[in-house]
Structure formats: structure tokens, C-alpha cells
Amino acid sequence: MGIRKPAVSVLAGGQSQRAHQASLPASSNPPAAIASSEPTSRQTGNRTVPVRALAARRTVLFSNERNDPDPKVQVFLSAPLPARGISATFDALSAQSRPSKALQMILRRALDDYELMLPNGSFTEIAPAYSVEEPLAIVATSRMMPRRLVDIALAHFDPLGFESARAFGRKLASSALCTFFDNEKKVTRR
């Protein structure tokens, strides 16, 4: 028995369905509008964010929601290389490997600590910038993070939902690195 080709393609099927609906007699009652059961805003952290802002961000971030109790999303991060003298750890790691690799290793550890700060809101007290190396060199990477933590960070860094995923990742990574560099300086002062 051979393979049969379908009689109607997907495109043609949609067109024939519309033609069939057009040939039906018009009803005197207009179709009832179906109310959306989705909320119009959502509480994230201590702020209310419109669902549209979060939904738009979800289309950009890669999702890994296979019935996980705490689903994770992939966040694309970028950060500029710090200037010499900002971090003793960065300077030491840069002597052993490329500066971009050194910053990626620091960022991994910085984000581990930063994820602990996100639920309680203590991340908002950190200085938002550090001195960068000239000419500007950007290091890019990605990280899987729990969606609930990403929602908290989005509510803080992009409360209106207008930033691109790239800009959000840059703010998140830079803030995590600022936290790491500040903590490093506090430890060396003791």
C-alpha cells in the first residue's frame, strides 16, 4: 500500500473553512465575547507588573518548564570587563587565563550569591555600577535561573516591561558583579 498525499493542505484547509463559514447564513446575534481568565497584573516581589510585560519577556527567554515545581528560564547575560584594581580576584584570575574567562568564572559565583539575595530584596541596596576597562570589552554568557527569581529581577530592573532581554541581562549581570566586588572589598578591609 502506497503513501497517500492529503487532499487538502494546511493553508487550503484554513481557506476552505473560512469559505464554509462565509456561506452560512448570518446570525442576528453577534458572537459572544469570551472573557479572558488571565489576570491583568501580577505581584512580583513588592511591585505589581502588567502581565503583558512579563509575557513578552517570556517569549524572549528560553523556558524549561517540564512539570518542574520550580521551572527555570535561560537568561542571556553580558557585562563589561572591570578596570584593573577593581577586583583582586579578577586581577589574579586574569593573570592565569583570558580576562573574559576570568569574568565568566566570577560571574558564575556572583550570580550564585545574588540568587540568594533576590527573594528578600537585599539586592536593591547595591551600587549599580563599577569602573570598566577602556576600550570597552563585553563578556557574554547565559544562565538557567528559576523563573520566580527572574520575575523578581524583572520587576526591579524593568518594571514597565520595555527593556530588551539583552538590556535586562546586562543590568542583572552588572548588579551581581557589583555585589561581588563590594563584598570582596569588605572582606579585604577587615
Mean pLDDT value across residues 159-164? 94
With H, G, I as helix, E, B as strand and everything else as coil, classify residue 29. coil
Q: At what angle do helices 88-96 and 99-117 cross, to 10 degrees?
A: 140
C-alpha to C-alpha distance for 65 and 62, rounded to whole angstroms:
10
The per-residue pLDDT for 67 is: 63
Q: Are 44 and 154 in contact (CB under 8 A)?
A: yes
The per-residue pLDDT for 121 is: 80
| Closest among 165, 172, 170 to 57, alpha carbons compared | 165
pLDDT at 11 over 50: no
State the burial class of residue 189 (Cβ atoms within 10 Å of its Cβ: 0-12, 13-18, 19+). Answer: exposed
pLDDT at 94 over 50: yes
C-alpha to C-alpha distance for 19 and 160, rounded to whole angstroms:
42
The per-residue pLDDT for 69 is: 76
Q: What is the mean pLDDT of the chain?
A: 77
| Closest among 41, 38, 44 to 151, alpha carbons compared | 44
pLDDT at 63 over 60: no
The per-residue pLDDT for 189 is: 73
Say what percent of the chain tops pLDDT 70: 62
Say what percent of the chain tops pLDDT 90: 52
Q: What is the pLDDT of residues 15-36, one digit of tens each?
A: 444 444 444 444 444 444 444 4
pLDDT at 148 over 80: yes
pLDDT at 176 over 80: yes
Instruction: Find the Cα–Cα–Cα–Cα dihedral 151, 154, 155, 156, rounded to 10°.
Output: 130
The per-residue pLDDT for 33 is: 41
Q: At what angle do helices 165-189 and 88-96 cross, to 10 degrees?
A: 110
Domains and CATH numbers, the chain: 44-189 (1.10.1220.190)
Model pTM above 0.85: no
